[in-house]
Amino acid sequence: MLYELPNLAWNYLTHLLTIWKYHGIPSDVLLVFYLFLQPFAEFSVNLPRINVIITATHMRLLRKLILATAMILVVNTAASAARVTAIVNAYTLKYQSVDAFNNPITLSEKIYVNQVYSNIKFIMVHNHPTTTNDAITPTGSSPQVEEVKYMCDGTELAMVVAPDYLGYGESVGTTHPYMCATLTARNIVDGITAAIDYITTQSSKRNGNYHFEDDYYTLNEGYSQGGATALAVHKYLETEASQAVKDKVKLKRTLCGAGPHQQSEIFDTMEQQDDMCYSLYIPFAIDGLKYTFGNSIMRALSEEEIYTEKFLQSGLLAKMREKNTTAADLNSTIANYFGGKVGFYDIIRPEYKDRSSKLYRTLQKALKQSNLLEGWTPTKPIVFYHWENDEVVPYSQSVNAYNHFKALGCDVELKEATTLNVTGEWRLKSYEKTHMGYGTKFYLLLFCESLR
């Protein structure tokens, strides 16, 4: 059955559906075919049940599609991987942006375009989740990019733009401004415009140059840190970007998966936890704040005034800054160092409890600089995805964002675990109900929604 195959096989089937649609196979046939596959899928997407009339010609096409699928299911994973990869051109691009001090800096990104078709209908901007390992970036071996690049499917004619964040890839020697939204958003937008310029001017395409259709647009997505970054990119484009940049990017919609949109509230939530499952967040965020606001807000605080003596003696800050260890391994290392259980005040000095202290006031002031809800009213649609039992990013982060923007009259949606599809329930196995597990489903959902 299909659920026994790797995700890659399902990705390939999704790709075939969209390619067939591009070549004119009637949508009602594709709908029936998709519903035929649905009971065997690892995840379920209930498309609208509409009345369709299947002609004799349609039935012949449907039989061919089912036969083709049966053939695909007996092909091994390696063969499927080769076929999928063969239809995507990948480019690594270096581009110019700015660092925290507004100095020019060279950043890097990955671009994916369809190998068969030269016209591009839309751009998918991929804002990647948290990584502390430079090898796991879009220009490295990011598993999310391996999923998202299948958006270059020949139907929607997508170009995927996946920038490395500042501090990774080409700029690995620089501190990553973790959760410092405005700077990261500026870097991402510079990457989008650089990718558009590159694809417009490059001439290595065998069928001629790529070109953007007149009505092309940009979809902007991300999960976890990427979800917050996606919202920051949306905010930057609507409040700070020049009109020329807005006209070039043509933002249509933003998809935010489980993003920490209010950093000060994340700190408040972690302060209440006796055992933080994602304790890395605290030193990683503070490093980003010290880099971004080191000449202003954070100048008044030294590391000795922020961290406990035990944490400073652990060597964990140096290990984190080496950027060759995954976030999961760093979290485990911190937990092991503190005997398997890490509380907020194992890392942060107890002075933080005093709301009038310099430590509390300074950190909160810096954290609130990355509050993505205040100071603007979005004009383009935003969809928030989150899950009530998320153990890393509080569910309230997306609920608060949705309620805030809804009260302003914005076009926003909040999709929860029981409604993550076109019309019905999106089924999840209990062991997948984790922040990372839902992240995988978030990317798979992008494929399903692209079939609408």
Cα dist from 101 to 97, 148, 293, whole Å: 11, 32, 9
Question: Each residue of 201-260: pLDDT tens digit?
Answer: 875 544 457 889 999 999 999 999 999 999 999 999 999 999 999 999 999 999 999 999
Report d(CA 193, CA 154) in Å as an integer. Answer: 22
Look at residue 196 in the predicted model and tell me its pLDDT: 94
Residue 154 pLDDT > 60, yes or no? no
Look at residue 143 in the predicted model and tell me its pLDDT: 78
pTM over 0.85: no
- The neighbouring-strand residues paired with 206 are none
Q: What is the mean pLDDT of residues 320-342?
A: 94
More confident residue, 148 or 196: 196
Q: What is the mean pLDDT of residues 58-75?
A: 55
Look at residue 452 in the predicted model and tell me its pLDDT: 40
Q: What is the mean pLDDT of residues 28-52?
A: 46
Residues 6+ apart with CB under 8 A from 393: 224, 227, 258, 259, 260, 266, 386, 435
Cα angle, residue 245 at apex, residues 241 and 249 outer, rounded to 5°: 115
| DSSP conformation letters of 212-281 | EEEEEEEEEEEETHHHHHHHHHHHHHHHTS-HHHHHHH-EEEEEEES----HHHHHHHHHT-SS-TTTTH
- The neighbouring-strand residues paired with 92 are 110
Report d(CA 218, CA 239) in Å as an integer. Answer: 17
% of the chain surpassing 70 pLDDT: 72
Look at residue 98 in the predicted model and tell me its pLDDT: 98
Residue 427 three-state SS: coil
- The neighbouring-strand residues paired with 443 are none
pLDDT band at 442 (very low <50, low <70, confident <90, very high): confident
Residue with tokens 């035929």: 36
